[in-house]
Amino acid sequence: MSDSQLAQHILKKWTAELRSKDRSFSKVQSNFDELFYELWKNKVPFDVTHELIKQAIAAHLPNAVIAKRTYQANKQKLDQTEKEFMDGWQKSIEDVCYQSFYSYYPPQTEANIEEEKKYGNMSAKEYIAQRKYAEQYPVIDIAKLKERWKNGVNTVDEFFDGIDLEGTDDGT
């Protein structure tokens, strides 16, 4: 099953379950969290999930009859027209949906995009950082060290005496 098909399947299941759930404003966040958690848990990619947002919002919006009844019941307390009330209701559901979506799928930035691993288990950026760190240490000629060892040295200082330790500022 492709990612898109899996996402559509999860959305349809969530929409069917939504009919029996509390859809009051206090439960909107948890309803969307259930959807996006299920998508995230099934490793549905950011792009595929992002395409489902409009469908998820439409599924959570109240039908016209319920919206009209709610407006009529609260008309005395509200200082707005029916259209403004409906638009505000839809906007608040959209905002909660996006908030929930981005809590599971943070926007991709350069900081959190994983680079391709080119050097074993390291990205190019990690490899360059490692090389820069490694190159600050001296390069020692092993052949010269073996010859000194054969000639018999008594201390570590004598062992390294006169050997060019490249890469250090003070030669130590």
pLDDT digits (tens, 9 = 90+) for 42-79: 989 988 999 999 999 998 888 888 888 888 888 788 88
Q: Does the pTM exceed 0.95?
A: no
How far does CA 45 lie from the centroid of its chain? 10
Q: Which of 15-24, 49-58, 109-118, 124-133 has the highest mean pLDDT?
A: 49-58
Structure tokens at 28: 């909107």
Mean pLDDT (the chain) is 80
Average pLDDT over residues 69-96: 86
Expressed as residue numbers, the domain containing 67 is 3-104
Q: Is residue 36 part of a domain?
A: yes
Domain boundary among the residues 104, 134, 152 is at 104
Q: Which of 68-77, 107-116, 132-141 has the highest mean pLDDT?
A: 68-77
pLDDT of residue 172: 46
Q: Give me the torsion for CA of 97, 101, 102, 103, rounded to 10°.
A: 100
The 3-class secondary structure across the chain, one letter per residue, is CCHHHHHHHHHHHHHHHHCCCCCCHHHHHHHHHHHHHHHHHCCCCHHHHHHCHHHHHHHHCCCHHHHHHHHHHHCCCCCCCHHHHHHHHHHHHHHHHHHHHHHHCCCCCCCCCCCCEEECCEEHHHHHHHHHHHCCCCECCHHHHHHHHHHCCCCHHHHHCCCCCECCCCCC
Residues 90 and 129 in one domain: no
Q: Is residue 110 part of a domain?
A: no
pLDDT of residue 171: 46
Q: Is residue 167 part of a domain?
A: no
Question: Is pLDDT larger for residue 145 or for residue 116?
Answer: 145
pLDDT of residue 98: 92
Give me the residues paired with residue 119 across strands.
122
Residues 100 and 133 in one domain: no
Residues 93 and 121 in one domain: no
pLDDT in tens, 138-172: 777 788 777 777 877 767 676 666 666 555 454 44
**What's the total number of domains in the chain?**
2
